Amino acid sequence: MRRVMIAGMGAVSSAGDSVYSTRSAFNAGERQTISGICLSPLIEKPLFLAAGFSAPHSHDEGMRTIQLCVKALAEALDSAALTETELSRYRIGVCLGTTVASQLNDINYYRTYKKTGSAPMDAVDRYLKGNLAEYCVEKYGLSGPCISVVNACSSGTDAIGIGLSWIRANICDIVIAGGADELNPVPYAGFNSLGILSDTVCTPFDVDRSGLNLGEGAGIVILEAEDHVHNRKGRSLACCAGYAAANDAYHLTAPHPEGRGLSVAIEKALSDAMIDARDIAFINAHGTGTKDNDLVEGRVLKNIVSSETPFISTKGYTGHTLGAAGGLEAVFTVMGLQDGWIPLSAGFFTVDEEIGVAPVSVKTMVQGNYAMSTSLAFGGNNAALVIGRIEEDA
């Protein structure tokens, strides 16, 4: 089976407009939010706006996600030392996750149609041109397989898992994978109607957590067969060692109380990577800041991995970026392995005894060759990704 490497990566979120600036924010424990009034005058909840991007406007709906994706992708290609002119020489697939970009979500379009019975088709045109994977294929003239994954909040992780399988099966030599999503009034109102948006800045795994904050961004990784990286004299940042997904089919928006789907996903991802839970140096948990999600996930991590294994929720820095979350958190996991440390879990202060474990509350040094990123999603979807460290002289 072909070994799959992460040859490049790019990130844009509230934590920074690049991997470098994100690392600086993590090191300083900094986080920035804005008021949700910019999306809806009726809802005033904190939001995590992508660094370097202006406040979202309705006329940009559908295209902003692509802009976020392209920014992160440009950094990832540069990181992988892949120029636009040479991309057509390789078998390159594109697999990207999203949620917002899959929706025809222009409120002005619906408002106008409701009032007059017709509306300009600009919104529909933007929607039809908003397929992330197809856009990247056309932009760079690629000829490999192309999929946009819409699997709620595990979309980015699932996209990476699919890309991993393409390379292992020798369908591609390189895969552009990850996810992107924008701040948008439709999911903002939807999450608010579910009663899971926090009135204050989110506090994942804290005993006083009261919900999540929405964020936006993009996290992209360049997956590449190890032999292909070597032949083109590229470099590897990490190894994409294992992936698995499982559905607990319990509830439309809530995880199974015993975390059955997540448990299966973690165990199968470890098996896919051919390692033991004891080999995991740290975990980048999904950790949204909602009561049920954090309770279930924390208990699963304690029971399957170890209560001694350090873990973090980076959503205290980025907010919940929906379809982009898995892509961003894969990048953050690579960063932790590369740097040998993970940042303090922003927003966490007090242990929840009902969970029984707590994320790191200070910048923490980590040692080991493997780390895990987990994703929990609506519809009972769960996914886990195992990433391996690369020796400096490899």
Confidence check: pLDDT of 123 > 80: yes
> Tens digit of pLDDT for each residue in 260-270?
999 999 999 99
Task: Please give the structure tokens belonging to residue 241.
Answer: 């060692």
Confidence check: pLDDT of 58 > 70: no
- Percentage of residues in the chain having pLDDT higher than 90: 81
| Strand-pair partners of 153 | 151
> Domain count of the chain?
1
| Strand-pair partners of 181 | 217
Q: Is 137 a member of any domain?
A: yes
pLDDT value for 88: 87
Confidence of residue 35 (pLDDT cuts 50, 70, 90): confident
Confidence check: pLDDT of 342 > 60: yes
3-state SS, residue 387: strand
* Least confident stretch, 56-60, 87-91, 239-243, 340-344: 56-60
> Tens digit of pLDDT for each residue in 348-380?
999 999 999 999 999 999 999 999 999 999 999
Computed over every residue of the chain, the mean pLDDT equals 93
> Tens digit of pLDDT for each residue in 177-200?
999 999 999 999 999 999 999 999
Strands in the chain per DSSP E: 4-12, 34-35, 46-48, 92-97, 146-149, 174-181, 214-215, 217-225, 238-247, 280-284, 311-312, 341-342, 364-365, 370-376, 381-389
Structural domain boundaries, residue 293 = 4-389
Q: Please provide the DSSP assignment of 339-376 as one string.
A: HTEE---TT--S--TTT-----SS-EE--SSEEEEEEE
pLDDT value for 393: 44
Specify the pTM. Answer: 0.96
Span 203-232, average pLDDT: 97
pLDDT value for 137: 95
DSSP classification of residue 217: E
Q: Is 394 a member of any domain?
A: no
Query: Whole-angstrom Cα distance, residue 31 to residue 168?
Result: 38
Span 217-224, average pLDDT: 98
Instruction: Check which CATH number belongs to the domain holding 176 and give it.
Output: 3.40.47.10
Confidence of residue 133 (pLDDT cuts 50, 70, 90): very high
Confidence check: pLDDT of 156 > 70: yes
pLDDT value for 307: 76
Confidence check: pLDDT of 160 > 80: yes
Span 112-124, average pLDDT: 91
pLDDT value for 394: 40
Confidence of residue 77 (pLDDT cuts 50, 70, 90): very high
Confidence of residue 392 (pLDDT cuts 50, 70, 90): low
**Residue 126 identity (one-letter amino acid):** R
pLDDT value for 62: 52
pLDDT value for 65: 94
> Tens digit of pLDDT for each residue in 16-34?
999 999 999 999 998 989 8
Q: How many CB atoms lie within 10 A of CB 164?
A: 22
Confidence of residue 277 (pLDDT cuts 50, 70, 90): very high
pLDDT value for 57: 65
Per-residue exposure over 167-191, b if at least 16 CB sit within 10 Å of its own CB, e if not: bbeeebbbbbbbbbbbbbbbbbbeb
